[in-house]
Amino acid sequence: MAKEGFNFAEFQGLKKAQYFKEQAKPMIVAKAKFAVCLVDFKQAGKKENVRFLFFKKQKEAVDLFKTFKTGKLHVIKKVGVATVSVVGQEVTMDVKKGGLTNDVLKAKAEEFFMSNYKLTLVTPTSAAAPAATTEEATEEKTTTTEPKATAETTQEAASEQPAAPKLTAKRRAKVQENMKAIEAQLAKITKALKI
């Protein structure tokens, strides 16, 4: 995680290998809860799509963001504080503060996480309020559906639920695979309970 007394010149001078060794080890990313995101950042004389400074505490991330903002160290529209959550093969990031949008972050950081950590980046759309993740949306649907739903109650339920985010073919296949695994686990449990 980034330390107290952040030295911007030192950070800017880090070479790519040093950056990943000191600031972005897989263990640091996995434990992080917040990150300061720098888009189109010049590091060691080379323009990088994105760089992150990972933190466990929100206060540390916000304080560093304020340093970037007041010191005018980087274009403020290209700096943001985001929440970070790594679950399985997905990293979920949601920009909470700064000039970045989730769309820009996703466009710039998707390759960063895939090529360096083999993680898929998930961000809520910035046009709407943060929607539930796909897995949460499928859980909501399975828990709220009634076995004897009529057409009228189905329409009412559909109008009350927020629209699920659009899925890519790869993500849709993964969701279907997860649903099959869940159904198999439920079958084992019901068999064990003899229900």
Task: For residue range 74-115, list pLDDT tens digits in order.
Answer: 888 889 999 999 888 888 999 999 888 888 888 888 888 888
CA angle 194, 141, 129 (to 5 degrees): 150
What pLDDT shows up at residue 139?
45
With a pLDDT cut of 70, the percent of the chain lying above it is 75
pLDDT greater at residue 152 or residue 140: 152
What is the number of residues in the chain?
A: 195
Spatial distance between the Cα atoms of 73 and 67, rounded to a whole number of angstroms: 8
DSSP 33: S
Spatial distance between the Cα atoms of 46 and 27, rounded to a whole number of angstroms: 25
With the CA atoms of 138, 143, 148 and 149 taken in that order, what torsion angle do they form, in degrees rounded to the nearest 10? -60
Q: Which of 59, 68, 60, 127 is nearest to 98 (CA)?
A: 68
Residues 6+ apart with CB under 8 A from 8: 67, 71, 73
Q: Which of 90, 87, 91, 74 is nearest to 36 (CA)?
A: 74
| DSSP calls for 73-132 | -S-GGGEEEEEEEEETTEEEEEEEEES--HHHHHHHHHHHHHHHH--EEE---SSSSPPP
Q: Give mean pLDDT, residues 60-66.
A: 90
Q: Which of 69, 116, 110, 71 is nearest to 92 (CA)?
A: 110
**Average model confidence (pLDDT) for the chain?**
77
